[in-house]
């Protein structure tokens, strides 16, 4: 969402003393960015450049509220549920502005400013200004990540239990998809179950996509899908960049880099797809499976000619002379960790034959989907590739015609082999 944001032209009528904001956030880039903002920074939730959460209210010349956490939020795989609840009329100063993450109140602050008296007000919801989701007015500091169930309640300070609850089986904080709240005149509820900017509260306070492309993702607070993990770098020369919610890799010449999925598995059957958007080298090389962070693993080398398209298993070439690749081709990979087999496909058809006999290699290992780039500047080994771990998109482009998927978990371009599923938390813990 780094280049995409929403706006709404707010008119007068809202409370000047009370509100609650509830939203689910998944960071994909560790950069400073505004999650929610009203024009001129009057009310905002943002991540600072040091990855600390900052919730504030600016009155035009100073902060009537400023809460900057001591804790840093650097997990690019998990969803955070943030609740920012304000009641300037509360007799207890500590309760006039409260922030919760995943149901627990933050109590440790680097900066802690709350209203000093109960007569303090703000005019954000009582004047005609523009509000933003995913960016800020003036200075461009977009939020790099994914948002879901973005809620604003006007006129009431609510606890996080109105919007989330603890799962009795797993103990995890999970979403309430039907909160029972009093919305007030300026309340709204967008991005409820996808990329709809139509207000799902009774108020019809709809939003507008002001820039970029707002895409729907299967990744959600109740089912987290794998993406590439931008926190893992093989060496200082691993200079690949990530975009589109960490599903697209751009690998330049000049260094080596390994790219791993955020989720791993040690048993079961999982499927993923990788679209090779472009590559320039005649001997371009990419890995599509590692068994752990340090091992050689099993991988498919792709090229534009037939002299190096091969499958290698733990240092030994097991299939050679395979068909070459072109930009736009899609590699499918089906891994059976339990029985020790791997199948590759090219544009939906079998590529080579099934690799078997991997049980001893896989045993006791955490298995990752991955890519490997070898820069070799003199040979200009450059590529750009997008992963579909089940989100239904390659970058910002939806699959053209979804294949069948008996598990009903994830959306892929081609048919998912029988018994296989997408790599997501819902399937890891079945």
CATH topology of domain 241-428: Jelly Rolls (2.60.120)
Please determine, for residue 422, whether its predicted confidence score (pLDDT) is greater than 90.
Answer: yes
Looking at residues 278-298, what average pLDDT do you find? 68
CATH of domain 5-211: 2.60.120.200
Which tokens in the block code for residue 430? Answer: 């079945």
Q: Which of 133-137, 138-142, 150-154 has the lowest mean pLDDT?
A: 138-142
Predicted pLDDT at 278: 86
Please determine, for residue 279, whether its predicted confidence score (pLDDT) is greater than 50.
Answer: yes
Please determine, for residue 365, whether its predicted confidence score (pLDDT) is greater than 90.
Answer: no
Predicted pLDDT at 138: 62
- Whole-angstrom distance, CA of residue 36 vs CA of residue 43: 8
Mean pLDDT over each residue of the chain, to the nearest integer: 88
- Whole-angstrom distance, CA of residue 72 vs CA of residue 82: 14
DSSP code of residue 322:
P
60-67, long-range: CB < 8 A, 24+ apart: 63/113, 64/88, 64/113, 64/115, 64/120, 64/122, 65/96, 65/97, 65/113, 65/114, 65/115, 66/111, 66/112, 66/113, 67/97, 67/99, 67/106, 67/109, 67/111, 67/112, 67/113, 67/114
Neighbours of 348 (CB within 10 A): 14
Predicted pLDDT at 268: 93
Which tokens in the block code for residue 40? Answer: 């001129």
Strand, helix or coil at 93? Answer: helix
Looking at residues 100-127, what average pLDDT do you find? 93
| Choice between 282 and 225, residue whose per-residue pLDDT is larger | 225
Q: Which residues contact 325 (CB under 8 A, 6 or more apart)?
A: 276, 302, 303, 304, 309, 331, 346
Domain ranges of the chain: 5-211, 241-428
Query: Do the first three CATH levels of 5-211 and 241-428 match, i.e. the same topology?
Result: yes
pLDDT tens-digit readout, 326-336: 889 999 999 99
Q: pLDDT tier at 315 (50, 70, 90 boundaries)?
A: confident
Q: pLDDT tier at 2 (50, 70, 90 boundaries)?
A: low
In the beta sheet, which residues pair with residue 188? 152
Predicted pLDDT at 295: 65
Q: pLDDT tier at 372 (50, 70, 90 boundaries)?
A: confident
Full 3-state SS string of 411-428:
ECCCCCCCCCECCEHHHH
pLDDT tens-digit readout, 226-239: 999 887 766 555 67
Q: Which of 74-88, 240-254, 280-294, 341-355 has the lowest mean pLDDT?
A: 280-294
Predicted pLDDT at 352: 92
Let me know if 282 is exposed, middle or buried by CB neighbors in 10 A (0-12, 13-18, 19+): middle
Predicted pLDDT at 259: 83
Kindly list the distances between the CA atom of residue 131 and the CA atoms of 87, 122, 178, 244, 378, in Å, as whole numbers in the listed order: 20, 15, 24, 24, 50
Predicted pLDDT at 1: 45
Neighbours of 235 (CB within 10 A): 10
Residue closest to 280 by CA, chosen among 397, 375, 346, 394: 375
Residue closest to 42 by CA, chosen among 133, 129, 170: 129
Element (H, E) at 153: strand 145-154
Global pTM reads: 0.86
Q: What percent of the chain has pLDDT over 70?
A: 90
pLDDT tens-digit readout, 194-222: 889 999 999 999 999 998 888 888 888 88
Predicted pLDDT at 81: 97
Residue closest to 386 by CA, chosen among 409, 374, 369, 402: 369
* Ramachandran area for residue 262 (φ above 0: left; ψ -120 to 50: alpha; else beta): alpha
Strand, helix or coil at 362? Answer: helix
Task: Concatenate the DSSP letters of all residues of 326-338 into one string.
Answer: -TT-EEEEEEETT
296-302, long-range: CB < 8 A, 24+ apart: 297/370, 298/342, 298/355, 298/358, 298/361, 299/372, 300/331, 300/333, 300/344, 300/351, 302/276, 302/329, 302/331
Looking at residues 307-322, what average pLDDT do you find? 84
Predicted pLDDT at 307: 59
Looking at residues 317-330, what average pLDDT do you find? 89
- Whole-angstrom distance, CA of residue 62 vs CA of residue 72: 25
Q: What percent of the chain has pLDDT over 90?
A: 55
Tokens 């078997």 map to which residue?
A: 356
Predicted pLDDT at 222: 84
Q: Which of 97-101, 163-167, 286-290 has the lowest mean pLDDT?
A: 286-290
Which tokens in the block code for residue 319? Answer: 């299939």
Please determine, for residue 124, whether its predicted confidence score (pLDDT) is greater than 50.
Answer: yes
């Amino acid at each position: 969402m780094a280049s995409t944001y929403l706006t709404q032209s707010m008119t007068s009528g809202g409370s000047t003393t009370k509100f609650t904001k509830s939203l689910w956030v998944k960071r994909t880039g560790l950069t400073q960015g505004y999650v929610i903002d009203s024009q001129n920074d009057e009310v905002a939730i943002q991540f600072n450049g040091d990855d600390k959460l900052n919730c504030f209210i600016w009155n035009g010349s100073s902060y009537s509220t400023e809460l900057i956490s001591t804790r840093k939020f650097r997990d690019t795989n998990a969803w955070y549920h943030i609740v920012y609840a304000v009641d300037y009329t509360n007799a207890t100063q500590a309760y006039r502005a409260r922030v919760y993450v995943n149901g627990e109140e933050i109590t440790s602050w680097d900066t802690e400013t709350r209203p000093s008296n109960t007569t303090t007000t703000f005019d954000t919801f009582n004047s005609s200004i523009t509000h933003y989701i995913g960016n800020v007015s003036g200075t461009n500091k977009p939020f790099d990540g994914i948002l879901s169930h973005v809620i604003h309640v006007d006129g009431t300070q609510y606890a996080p239990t109105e919007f989330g609850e603890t799962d009795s089986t797993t103990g995890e904080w999970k979403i309430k998809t039907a909160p029972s709240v009093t919305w007030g005149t300026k309340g709204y509820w967008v991005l409820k179950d996808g990329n709809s900017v139509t207000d799902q509260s009774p108020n019809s306070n709809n939003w507008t996509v002001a820039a970029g492309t707002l895409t729907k993702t299967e990744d959600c607070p109740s089912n987290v899908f794998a993406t590439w993990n931008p926190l893992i770098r093989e060496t200082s020369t691993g200079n690949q960049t990530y975009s589109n919610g960490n599903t697209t890799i751009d690998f330049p010449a000049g260094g080596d880099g390994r790219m791993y999925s955020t989720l791993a598995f040690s048993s079961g059957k999982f499927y993923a797809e990788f679209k090779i958007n472009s590559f320039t080298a005649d001997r371009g090389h990419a890995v599509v499976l590692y068994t752990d962070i340090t091992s050689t693993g099993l991988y498919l080398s792709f090229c534009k000619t037939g002299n190096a398209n091969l499958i290698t298993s733990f240092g030994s070439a097991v299939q050679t002379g395979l068909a070459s690749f072109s930009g736009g081709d899609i590699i499918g990979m089906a891994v059976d960790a339990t029985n020790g087999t791997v199948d590759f496909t090219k544009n939906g058809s079998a590529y080579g034959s099934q690799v078997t006999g991997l049980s001893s290699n896989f045993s006791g290992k955490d298995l990752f989907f991955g890519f490997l780039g070898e820069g070799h500047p003199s040979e200009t080994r450059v590529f750009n590739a997008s992963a579909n771990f089940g989100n239904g998109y390659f970058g910002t482009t939806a699959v053209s015609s979804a294949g069948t998927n008996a598990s009903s978990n994830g959306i892929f371009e081609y048919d998912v082999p029988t018994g296989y599923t997408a790599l997501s938390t819902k399937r890891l813990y079945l």
